[in-house]
Chain A
Amino acid sequence: MVRSIKDRVAIIGMGCTRFGELWDESPSSLVVDAAYEAYDDAGIGPDDVQACWLSSVEASTSGMAGLGLSAPLRLQYKPVTRVENMCASGSDALRNACYAVAAGVCDIALALGVEKQKDSGEAGLRVTGGPPKAAVEPNSTNPGAFAMMATRYFSRYGIAPHEGKAMLAKIAVKSHYNGSLNPKAHFRRIITLEQVMNAPIVAWPLGLFDCCGISDGAAAAIVVPAEDAKNFRADPVYVKALQICVGPADGIVTTDYDYTHVEETYRAGLAAYAEAGITNPRKEISMAEVHDCFSITEAVLMEDLQFSQRGRVREDIEAEVFTLKGELPIQPDGGLKCFGHPVGASGLRMMYEMYKQLQGKAGERQIADPKLGLTHNMGGQPSGCTVSCIIVGN
């Protein structure tokens, strides 16, 4: 009998650095900042941690394995595992830490994600990587791969290009407003619909503000058994669902895939709702931090996560359902749009916001009385990806 993770583990401490183009920071320095904020928040010391999971994808700690965490922290002979699962890496590190605690093999686990994206010299996220290869891949970028979803979405639902761009622009405007209220965000300025619509095109139909930034940052979480949580603090955050869904990447091989949804997100959502006992996500989820690498991604996954009906996210965007004061606030911290995307850190950065919101500590961004928060990451491309979906609550 498969047992749900629901209410078996809790997060009792979190840390998150400022995100941005941190030219003066090293990966190891970010690791120390995130870990010690989490220790302090949990009221523990470095020696209390029994096992660690480090999430890092790009060059930051790649090749250093677990030493990427143990060396900067001078951890004293603890088990450390490096997790790489594309953009879902941070969430997967948390998942592994939670599973270890739930299995009863450790009582205090650390999940930490770090990425020093800006040291690569690449303006965007690298598409290349992996083993030595034949090098005949089409000349495509990540914005290009997601722009194809927008092209098809507009075509399928009969949305004229300028209407489609306006729909997507509202997503960026909303996130930038939230980010303007967040001292840890990379971009902290309010933008207008006109600015988004008139920005240079990166990959048609996506313009500059349809794309999230690329930044450096780190975030960390301390996980303990649910029954111990209250010994650490009065307001722990309980894990309700932990799902990872990795697709067969056949969307670019067979002709079935429609390029207007992401199957992995839909299935990760289904599994997470089942695990958490949620039957009406739109009503029961109070808020979400989702993987808005591009505006079209956020639009489509509102439908995949069943927050909006298929093909009708536009109505909800126009009704301002997803704004901070709306029925279901999305990206209350500003999202990838304002934080940028240090790949290994993003999942834990999202969780940091859900954690603070559930504790009522989100300052100007505070959502009234949230019950359940959802984080979602998507790594890869629409035709094949790895998706995480985590639900937490108080």
Chain B
Amino acid sequence: MAGIVSFGAYVPIHRMNRTEFHRAWAGFPIPGESAVAAYDEDTITMGVEAAIDCIRDFDRQSIDAVFLATTTCPYKEKLGASIIATALDLRAGIRTMDITGTLRAGTTALATALDAINAGSARNVLVVASDCRLGAPSGMLEQMLGSGAAALLIGTDGVIAEIEGHSSLSDEFSGVWRSDDDLFVRSWEDRMTLEKGYSAMLSEAISALMQKYNLQADSFDKLVIDAPTNVTKQAAVAKKLDLDPAKIQDALFLTVGNTGAALASMMLVAALEEASPDQTMLYASYGNGADSFVLRTTAALANLEPRRGIKRHIESKLMLSNYETYLRWNGIIPLDAGRRPDPPPASLTALYRYRNEILALYGARCLNCGTPQYVNPSALLTTGVTPIRICAACHAKDQFEPYRFADKQATVFTFTQDNLAAGMDPPAITAVIDFDGGGRALFDVTDRDPSKLDVDMRVEMTFRKMFTNNGIHNYYWKARPIRCEDGNNG
């Protein structure tokens, strides 16, 4: 039976205490912290992080499809899933698809993945759910939304949670929406949104699932029920169906915030992290209708290496010191452009030609002397050195094999904190890093506490957005202090 083979998740390291929103705008104080995507993070980068967490100990060649579920794709016209697939160094001969437009995109993607596997057109499908929605400044939604991502590897081999059944229903009503030019989420008044929309649809879908598979109220060990921004409404759904509210999976409200199309998947990952074999789970998600699933964990769950997942990512955090930084990072207010000429637009030709060097962080290893080497295709001293033709160590010509640096950890050789560089998070920290196993390069250092940077600091690579120019999002890799010390670092 098809099911979940692996899981992973991502929560941005930056959190903001919600008292900061209250300090800025007064209004209703709301407890807890929001996970804030940094200026260099978006749906794609968070999706890559969650996917790496999910598949780092799996054979990349065995993945036949990547589905990206989100309502915040950085492009209207250009696929997001293909960027993720390239960053993950997956085969070219796979199916990539963005599933978007609804907050239940994550479960729609899961159902679609199951169909593909059951139809025999794919062995393993990577479902990535990632979202970074914004509420308008001073509103309640601003405080309640958060950013995050989850990834599920769906397949039939080594299943840790079988998906025993599934039921969907469609509904036109939407209590929250964004038109194609809205930056912020809009919302209808709460009572209709929650009662006619969320509660009614979810209970109907869950009830249909229970009937279809002859499930009783006490069949479930865990209830992973999607939550609206008002998390107390999870319990209302359970109550309606006579389900035990004590079994409801926490909706991450106090630690992350509502992560939209990624929330249900993130809750499922959090549930799987705590689950033991032979448990039955209800998994349901809402958004213009609802999807519901019944899952049963298997003995293989115990064999899966611990993930950074939800728990460890939540524990690893840096507090944003103020609301102004949140505004800056999210591009909500116009900022001083910096008193310097604009950089020239990126060459799409160069971005295409060097896509493996840039998006998958490929360098080369010399077959003659064994030295791994990486060159940034656009930095001052390495422009024109891509592809690598002459070995920097032994000077042999054209004897290389591809060598991937994205999964290598490294040590800071030297660094600076640059106040002159225009940046969204001054000081701009760049470091020369020496990769374990060989190779050296200059990278930005992100997700860092400037006071802790030092020579010999250990770092790992993280996929980030460099900047946007001419409508092109330039994605690349940065170094960051190792996020979670966990024996599963590479």
Q: Mark A90-134, 1 if CB is under 8 A from B, else 0.
A: 000000000000000000000000000000111110011011111
A130 and B157 alpha carbons, distance in the complex (Å): 51
Inter-chain contacts of A135 with B (CB < 8 A): 343-347, 350-351, 378, 466-467, 469, 474
B382 on the interface (CB 8 Å rule)? yes
A135 and B340 alpha carbons, distance in the complex (Å): 17
B183 on the interface (CB 8 Å rule)? no
- B414 near A149 with CB under 8 A, answer yes
What residue of chain B has the Cβ atom nearest to residue A259's Cβ?
B414
Contact of A152 among B375, B414, B417, B430 (CB under 8 A): B414
Task: Report if A151-B440 is in contact (Cβ < 8 Å); known contacts: A134-B377, A138-B376, A200-B419.
Answer: no
Task: Report if A137-B421 is in contact (Cβ < 8 Å); known contacts: A121-B341, A128-B343, A152-B414.
Answer: no
Inter-chain contacts of B421 with A (CB < 8 A): 139-141, 144, 203
What residue of chain A has the Cβ atom nearest to residue B417's Cβ?
A204
- A139 near B444 with CB under 8 A, answer yes
- B418 near A143 with CB under 8 A, answer yes
Q: Mark B410-426, 1 if CB is under 8 A from A, else 0.
A: 00011111111111000
Task: Report if A253-B343 is in contact (Cβ < 8 Å); known contacts: A130-B383, A144-B428.
Answer: no
A203 and B427 alpha carbons, distance in the complex (Å): 8
Q: Mark A246-261, 1 if CB is under 8 A from B, else 0.
A: 0011101111110100
- B428 near A134 with CB under 8 A, answer no
- A203 near B382 with CB under 8 A, answer no
Least distance between B45 CB and chain A CB atoms (Å):
13
Inter-chain contacts of B349 with A (CB < 8 A): 132
A21 and B124 alpha carbons, distance in the complex (Å): 64
- A136 near B340 with CB under 8 A, answer no
A223-266 residues with Cβ-Cβ distance < 8 A to B are 248-250, 252-257, 259
Least distance between B470 CB and chain A CB atoms (Å):
10
A144 and B444 alpha carbons, distance in the complex (Å): 11
Q: Mark B381-393, 1 if CB is under 8 A from A, else 0.
A: 1111100000011
- A383 near B383 with CB under 8 A, answer no
- A155 near B455 with CB under 8 A, answer yes
Q: Mark A193-223, 1 if CB is under 8 A from B, else 0.
A: 0000000111110100000000000000000
A366 on the interface (CB 8 Å rule)? no
Contact of B383 among A123, A131, A144, A253 (CB under 8 A): A131
A155 and B412 alpha carbons, distance in the complex (Å): 12
Stretch at the interface among B75-83, B314-322, B431-439: B431-439
A145 and B309 alpha carbons, distance in the complex (Å): 36
Inter-chain contacts of A133 with B (CB < 8 A): 346-347, 350, 377-378, 383
Task: Report if A380-B416 is in contact (Cβ < 8 Å); known contacts: A123-B339, A139-B421.
Answer: no
Inter-chain contacts of A139 with B (CB < 8 A): 418, 421-423, 428, 430, 444
- A132 near B344 with CB under 8 A, answer yes
- B432 near A136 with CB under 8 A, answer no
Tell me what chain B mostly uses at the interface: helix, strand, loop, or mixed.
loop
- A254 near B371 with CB under 8 A, answer yes
- A151 near B416 with CB under 8 A, answer yes
- B417 near A155 with CB under 8 A, answer no
A342-394 residues with Cβ-Cβ distance < 8 A to B are 380-381, 383-384
Inter-chain contacts of B418 with A (CB < 8 A): 139-141, 143-144, 147, 202-204
Interface centre among B343, B416, B444, B469 (most CB of A within 10 A): B416
A166 on the interface (CB 8 Å rule)? no
- A203 near B381 with CB under 8 A, answer no
What residue of chain A has the Cβ atom nearest to residue B425's Cβ?
A139
A148 on the interface (CB 8 Å rule)? yes
B296-319 residues with Cβ-Cβ distance < 8 A to A are none
Inter-chain contacts of A155 with B (CB < 8 A): 414, 455
A-B contact pairs, 6 of them (CB 8 A): A130-B384, A140-B421, A141-B418, A141-B420, A144-B430, A254-B393
Given contacts A133-B347, A134-B377, A148-B431, 16 further A-B contacts (CB under 8 A): A131-B384, A133-B383, A135-B351, A136-B376, A137-B378, A139-B421, A140-B428, A140-B442, A141-B421, A144-B421, A147-B418, A151-B455, A202-B420, A204-B427, A252-B381, A255-B440
Chain B residues in the interface with A (C-beta under 8 A) = 339-341, 343-347, 349-351, 354, 358, 371, 373-385, 392-393, 413-423, 427-428, 430-432, 434, 438-444, 455, 466-467, 469, 474-476, 478
Shortest Cβ-Cβ A-B pairs, 5 listed: A135-B346, A132-B347, A147-B416, A144-B418, A136-B476
